[in-house]
């Protein structure tokens, strides 16, 4: 298995070199992806060595025990070894697989849009690479002229970079309830030279009554002028604002969306977001279709008829 992982690492390096030679992938990006690939391979090799390491440690414990206890201790150690190996493998291997998928998504993201400066951290609170890739792919395939984002950050930048890369005469409008984060995103857009393609609007949260729910959502004066929305990305407000904080997005924008418009909801693995989508589908009926996208944090892709 270790030789297989080593062969995979060499194959990854060869693939990166070939892509770098046959495409516009810069040397810096090639080095980045080579390093990421080797990190994942090294992690796999380490995980594969864990059972052997545990066995060696167990053998050392057995050799230190008195001979009369050997049969009982051997049985006990074998059971503990099996339990520890299963627990470690079950915890580490899935995370390595998830990380590798994010590396693949990041590689595809760099291949699709022109990223010339450093990107802020992804995953965790920010969007994961697989979600960013989904958004960029939607821009590429459907060429939206107006994109509205609930929230702002790395996703705003990638949407704007996609608009520039694919030559779309359009605009990204991001609604951000905190001025500090809004300004950070504006600076990010300026640094990457796409502040003309994206606008971040500060929209403080206000208590609204929507669909029988009382939730905090973005102030109306920040979005009331928006119409003809082709892509609505819902990644805010944060769930801490209220349990169904993201619910108002579709009811308030339903008549502002164009026929065939797409709605992307992040964090679909959370019960609250799944309930939000159930409400949307119940209210819009045949006007909306749902595709569950198996991303790191789950995503719902809805299409309006």
Note whether residue 118 is domain-resident. no
* Per-residue pLDDT at 89: 76
Distance, in Å, from the CA atom of 128 to the CA atom of 105, rounded to the nearest integer, reads 9
Tell me if 124 is assigned to some domain: no
Task: Single out the residue in 86, 112, 138 at which a domain terminates.
Answer: 112
Please tell me whether residues 147 and 69 are part of one structural domain.
no
Structure token pair of residue 248 = 């108002």
| Confidence at residue 65, expressed as pLDDT on a 0 to 100 scale | 47
119 located within any domain: no
Nearest CA to 105 among 41, 33, 26?
Answer: 33
Write out 16-46 in H/E/C secondary structure. HHHHHHHCCCCHHHHHHHHHHHHHHHHHHHH
Residue 282 inside a domain? The answer is: yes
Both 183 and 253 in one domain: the answer is yes
Report pTM.
0.75
Question: Looking at the domain assignment, is residue 298 inside a domain?
Answer: yes
- Domain of residue 272, CATH code: 3.40.50.150
14 lies in the same domain as 140: no
User: Are 281 and 155 contained in the same domain?
Assistant: yes
Say if residue 65 is in the same domain as residue 206.
no
Do residues 88 and 155 share a domain?
no
- The domain in which residue 26 lies consists of 2-112
- Count: domains in the chain: 2
Burial of 183 (0-12, 13-18, 19+ CB in 10 A): middle
> Are residues 245 and 177 part of one domain?
yes
pLDDT in tens, the chain (305 residues): 444 444 555 555 555 545 445 555 555 555 555 555 555 555 555 555 555 655 665 565 455 445 555 554 555 567 777 777 777 777 787 888 888 899 999 999 999 998 999 888 887 778 999 999 999 999 999 999 999 999 999 999 999 999 999 999 999 999 999 999 999 999 999 999 999 999 999 999 999 999 999 999 999 999 999 999 999 999 999 987 778 999 999 999 999 999 999 999 999 999 999 999 999 999 999 999 999 999 999 999 999 99
For strands 213-218 and 229-234, give the pairing.
unpaired
Are 210 and 76 in a shared domain? no
Does 123 reside within a domain?
no
Cα–Cα distance measured from residue 79 to residue 154, given in angstroms and rounded to the nearest whole number: 47
Whether residues 147 and 268 fall in one domain: yes
Which of 87, 112, 137 is the last residue in one of the domains?
112
Looking at the fold, whether 108 and 179 belong to one and the same domain comes out as no
Q: Name the helix (H) or strand (E) containing 260.
A: strand 257-266
Final residue of a structural domain among 112, 137, 164: 112
Same domain, 103 and 151: no
Cα separation, 195 vs 161, whole angstroms = 10
Residue 117: inside a domain: no
Looking at the structure, tell me whether residues 168 and 244 fall in a common domain.
yes
């Amino acid at each position: 298995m270790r030789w297989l992982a080593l062969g995979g690492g060499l194959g990854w390096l060869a693939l990166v070199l070939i892509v770098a030679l046959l495409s516009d992938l810069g040397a810096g990006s090639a080095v980045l992806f080579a390093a990421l690939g080797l990190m994942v391979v090294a992690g796999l090799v380490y995980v594969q060595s864990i059972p052997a390491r545990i066995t060696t440690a167990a053998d050392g414990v057995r050799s230190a025990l008195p001979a009369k206890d050997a049969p009982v201790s051997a049985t006990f150690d074998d059971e503990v070894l099996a339990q520890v190996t299963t627990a470690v493998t079950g915890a580490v291997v899935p995370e390595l697989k998830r990380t590798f998928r994010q590396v693949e998504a990041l590689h595809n993201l760099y291949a699709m849009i022109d990223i010339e400066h450093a990107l802020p951290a992804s995953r965790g609170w920010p969007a994961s690479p697989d979600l960013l890739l989904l958004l960029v792919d939607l821009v590429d395939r459907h060429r939206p002229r107006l994109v509205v984002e609930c929230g702002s950050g790395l996703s705003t930048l990638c949407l704007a970079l996609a608009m520039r890369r694919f030559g779309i005469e359009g605009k990204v409008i991001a609604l951000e309830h905190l001025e500090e984060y809004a300004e950070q995103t504006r600076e990010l857009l300026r640094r990457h030279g796409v502040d003309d393609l994206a606008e971040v609007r500060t929209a403080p949260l206000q208590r609204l009554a929507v669909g029988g729910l009382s939730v905090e959502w973005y102030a109306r004066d920040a979005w009331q002028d928006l119409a003809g929305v082709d892509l609505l990305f819902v990644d805010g407000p944060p769930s801490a604002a209220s349990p169904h904080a993201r619910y108002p997005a579709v009811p308030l924008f339903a008549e502002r969306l164009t026929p065939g418009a797409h709605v992307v909801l992040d964090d679909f693995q959370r019960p609250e977001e799944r309930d939000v989508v159930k409400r949307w589908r119940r209210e819009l009926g045949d006007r909306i279709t749902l595709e569950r996208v198996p991303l790191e944090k789950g995503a719902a892709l809805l299409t309006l008829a």
